[in-house]
Amino acid sequence: MGRLAKGEIPGYTEMLAEARKVATKRMVAEAENLNADAVINVKYETAGVAEGTVEILAYGTAVRFK
């Protein structure tokens, strides 16, 4: 049986933070392409794809102000 790590794994935490930044930048760029003024109700979903990799999905609602 495999061992469970206790506590934070700094390398994994850094990888998640970087992936979240990339996902956020892509979401904002798409909103800008739609001429949106903001993105509201932003949510993130995270999934491990393979050992040492992670997939993060960022989504929200692009809005325009009157």
Tens of pLDDT, residue by residue over 3-62, are: 666 788 888 888 889 989 999 999 999 999 999 999 999 999 988 777 777 789 999 999
- Is the pLDDT at 2 greater than 60? The verdict is no
Residue 30 placed within a domain: yes
| The total number of structural domains that make up the chain | 1
- Give the pLDDT score at 47: 84
> What are 31's two structure tokens?
């909103």
Residue 53 placed within a domain: yes
- Is the pLDDT at 1 greater than 90? The verdict is no
- Give the pLDDT score at 15: 84
Task: Specify the pTM.
Answer: 0.77
User: Cα separation of 52 and 66, whole Å?
Assistant: 45
Residue 43 placed within a domain: yes
Residue 47 placed within a domain: yes
DSSP 50: S
Nearest Cα to Cα of residue 42 among 62, 17, 12: 62
> What are 61's two structure tokens?
């609602």
Residue 15 placed within a domain: yes
Residue 17 placed within a domain: yes
Q: What is the span of the domain harbouring residue 22?
A: 10-63
